[in-house]
Amino acid sequence: METIVSGARPTGQLHLGHLHGALKNWVKLQDHYRCYFFVADWHALTTDYATPQGINQSTVEMVMDWLSVGLDPTKAVLFRQSRIKEHAELHLLYSMITPVPWLERNPTYKEQIKELTGKDLSTYGFLGYPVLQAADITIYKANKVPVGVDQAPHVELTREIVRRFNQVYKPIFPEPEVLLTETQKLPGLDGRKMSKSYGNAVFLSDAPKEIDQKISRMVTDPARARRTDPGEPEKCPAFQLHKVYSTPDEIAEVSAGCRSAGIGCLDCKKIMIRHVIDDLAPFREKRAQFESKPREVEEVLRAGNQMAQKQAAATMIEVRETLGL
Ligand code: SF4
């Protein structure tokens, strides 16, 4: 079985964007690969180093969501990055051989420096986060890394670091390949990318009433200012949710109704809201069970940390031997 590694920053409760962007894929992948899925809490510090207080709680909330969508600890190793100190050791050794210009030309680095203007990101840790990522992936000798098409360059940097290590010392690491996964980008309630920090998210754990209220307020095609104005579904963020949740017949019906002003936006949304609520029903049920037994979540992480640590420790013995350390 080939190995896959992927991680997510502890953002607390997850939303529909996470579900369709990564989680649904992870749930499928766990049946076909040896999967390591980790809470990237050290990565959270690369941008949010000044506010580490919520990390513990966010970790538990996120893993609760992982388990509730169907990640199965008997199939995949679920663990917390900061509990496996070997990641930090390999990161250090990789940092010795990684040229700084490789990191400076990283498009995400440049983009985030521009975007996150409220934070001082001129730190060594932020510049070097792809080196930590390379360590996260390769310490489990991953063959593949599941990413959406826009994240493929990140894996390329890991491959470059691995190539360099294998050339300078000894070829002990496989070069991980990109496993392109189809992701569906869901807009948030205001039409921007769905994000907790924008306050525009539908959370997986939202109650049916909350889901109804939130999506009922979601922005639509601005051309439909009045009920009698015809619209264009492709210009409507709410229609993107229809495309994910509604049946082909329903999509055809609301598209025609939108273009002819034969249907009002609220009635149009109600059709899809019902599906969103139904789709999340099993999730809510499972999450309620975990909420009543938070110890179970901690136990899952403890067992996952142990399994991950065993593999990471074995890799580091090999690395230290290779370097004569
Ligand atoms: S009718 Fe439906 S698709 Fe058209 S603008 Fe309103 S919510 Fe969007």
Nearest-atom number in ligand 1 for the CA of 266 is 7
Residue 215 CB–ligand 1 contact under 6 Å: no
* CB half-sphere exposure, 46, CA atoms < 13 A: 19
Residue 126 CB–ligand 1 contact under 6 Å: no
Residue 254 CB–ligand 1 contact under 6 Å: yes
165-189 average pLDDT score: 92
Nearest CA to ligand 1 atom 4: 258
Residue 209 Cα to ligand 1 middle (Å)? 21
238-260 average pLDDT score: 96
Percent of the chain's residues with pLDDT above 70: 100
- Please check whether residue 230 is in contact with residue 261, taking contact to mean a CB–CB distance below 8 angstroms: yes
pLDDT in tens, 2-23: 999 999 999 888 999 999 989 9
pLDDT at 50: 85
Instruction: Judge whether residue 114 has pLDDT over 80.
Output: no
34-59 average pLDDT score: 93
Residue 232, both tokens: 């264009």
Residue 281 Cα to ligand 1 middle (Å)? 25
- Burial code (b: 16+ CB inside 10 Å, e: under 16) for 114-139 equals eeeeebebeeebbbbbbbbbbbbbbb
Residue 220 Cα to ligand 1 middle (Å)? 6
Which spans in 70-189 are helix H?
A: 86-97, 100-104, 107-115, 124-127, 129-138, 152-168
Residue 23 Cα to ligand 1 middle (Å)? 28
Q: Which domains does the chain have, with CATH numbers?
A: 3-186+294-323 (3.40.50.620), 206-287 (1.10.240.10)
Sign, Cα dihedral of 283, 286, 288, 294:
negative
Rounded CA separation 38/308 (Å): 9
Residue 173 Cα to ligand 1 middle (Å)? 51
pLDDT at 68: 96
pLDDT at 117: 76
pLDDT at 182: 79
Nearest CA to ligand 1 atom 6: 265
Rounded CA separation 288/292 (Å): 6
Percent of the chain's residues with pLDDT above 90: 83
- Please check whether residue 223 is in contact with residue 193, taking contact to mean a CB–CB distance below 8 angstroms: no
pLDDT at 109: 82
Burial class (CB in 10 A: 0-12, 13-18, 19+), 1: exposed
Residue 287 CB–ligand 1 contact under 6 Å: no
Residue 24 Cα to ligand 1 middle (Å)? 26
Residue 273 CB–ligand 1 contact under 6 Å: no
Nearest-atom number in ligand 1 for the CA of 224 is 5
105-117 average pLDDT score: 79
Nearest CA to ligand 1 atom 7: 265
pLDDT at 94: 98
Which spans in 229-264 are helix H?
A: 237-245, 248-259
pLDDT at 154: 80
69-81 average pLDDT score: 98
Residue 190 Cα to ligand 1 middle (Å)? 14
pLDDT in tens, 143-158: 999 987 777 878 999 9
> Which band of pLDDT confidence, cut at 50, 70 and 90, is reported for residue 294?
confident
With both helix axes pointing from N to C terminus, report the angle between 152-168 and 129-138 in degrees, rounded to the nearest 10: 70
Mean pLDDT of the chain: 94
Residue 268 Cα to ligand 1 middle (Å)? 6
192-198 average pLDDT score: 87
